[in-house]
Amino acid sequence: MTDKRLTLVTGASAGIGRALALELATTHDHHVLALARSKSALEKLDDEIKSRGGKATLIPLDLTDAPSVERLGAVVLERWGRLDGLAGNAGMLGPLSPLQTITPREFDKTIDTNLTANWRLIRSFDPLLRTSDSGRAVFVTSGVVPRPRAFWGPYQASKAGLEAMVHAWIEETAITKMKINLFDPGATRTAMRADAMPGEDPMTLPPPEEVAAKLAKLVLPECDSHGKRFEAKDM
């Protein structure tokens, strides 16, 4: 058990997810469950969190591995008996190509990572978030949902699906203590953004730490918003 607030952050090895894990563990004194595929990157994150006096539990796991996600929910239940916060941040850009040139494998992987994996998280952790006195969940979406564009088909389809799915969960939890929201970080100085916009000067964009500080507010017990779509630039 832990007296600290227990928050799961996916995609915690890099970019906004890594910055969020650091922000929660150090500034807000959460016990962070840091989930990502790269064990070595998670270990570096853990070293930094510990050096700042924070606490984390590392979870090297691929969210597209359905049985592992189901087992994770059982492990968290057995060890801690609850979950206070869930930040669904992990995602992939996928191919930026005309729809007819994208392979089924590329399409399926993008949808599985950005949409289906978050359903698995909801399925596994809804009961544990309900156990908390102030369960909070936030999912990272994208500006391409309200402003779709050519060549971004799989990515924007997955994020549009994510928003629709999360809104269903929002309605289903309306009479609980839980607060669930969406967060659009906007253009941020990350490796994914560089892949998407290789000609862009990254120094014109806000760093992940700045964006993560805003995202962190949505998993704090003080957050009383439910069913909103936040844009970082407006916070």
SS3 58: strand
Query: Among residues 224, 74, 28, 22, which one has the least CA distance to residue 134?
Result: 224
**How would you list the strands of the sheet with 6-10, edge to edge?**
55-60, 31-36, 6-10, 85-88, 136-140, 179-184, 229-231
Within a domain: 167: yes
Within 8 A by CB and 6+ apart from 103, the residues are none
- The bridge status of strand 179-184 relative to strand 229-231 is parallel
* Counted domains in the chain: 1
SS3 148: coil
Measured CA angle at 216 (ends 211, 219), to 5 deg? 145
The predicted model scores a pTM of: 0.95
pLDDT of residue 32: 97
Within a domain: 30: yes
**Over the chain, what is the mean pLDDT?**
95
pLDDT tier, 3 (very low <50, low <70, confident <90, very high otherwise) = confident
pLDDT of residue 20: 98
| DSSP letter assigned to residue 5 | P
The CATH number for 103's domain is: 3.40.50.720
pLDDT of residue 195: 85
Within a domain: 143: yes
Q: What percent of the chain has pLDDT over 90?
A: 89
Residue 186 CA to residue 201 CA, distance in Å, equals 15
pLDDT for 188 beyond 80: no
168, two tokens: 């269903």
Within a domain: 54: yes
Within a domain: 1: no
Within a domain: 185: yes
| Count of H-run helices and E-run strands, the chain | 8, 7
Residue 112 CA to residue 120 CA, distance in Å, equals 10
pLDDT of residue 205: 81
pLDDT for 1 beyond 70: no
pLDDT of residue 24: 98
Within 8 A by CB and 6+ apart from 95, the residues are 101, 102, 106, 110, 154
- Residue 135 burial (C-beta neighbours within 10 Å; 0-12, 13-18, 19+): buried
Residue 1 vs residue 10, higher pLDDT? 10
> Span 217-225, mean pLDDT?
97
Alpha carbon 195 to chain centroid distance?
Answer: 19
pLDDT for 184 beyond 80: yes
Q: What is the pLDDT of residues 12-38, one digit of tens each?
A: 999 999 999 999 999 999 999 999 999
pLDDT for 174 beyond 90: yes
* CA R_g for the chain: 17
- The secondary structure element, H or E, covering residue 211 is helix 208-216
pLDDT for 140 beyond 90: yes
Count of C-beta atoms within a 10 Å radius of residue 198: 7
pLDDT of residue 230: 98
Domain ranges, residue 124: 6-234
> Span 173-191, mean pLDDT?
92
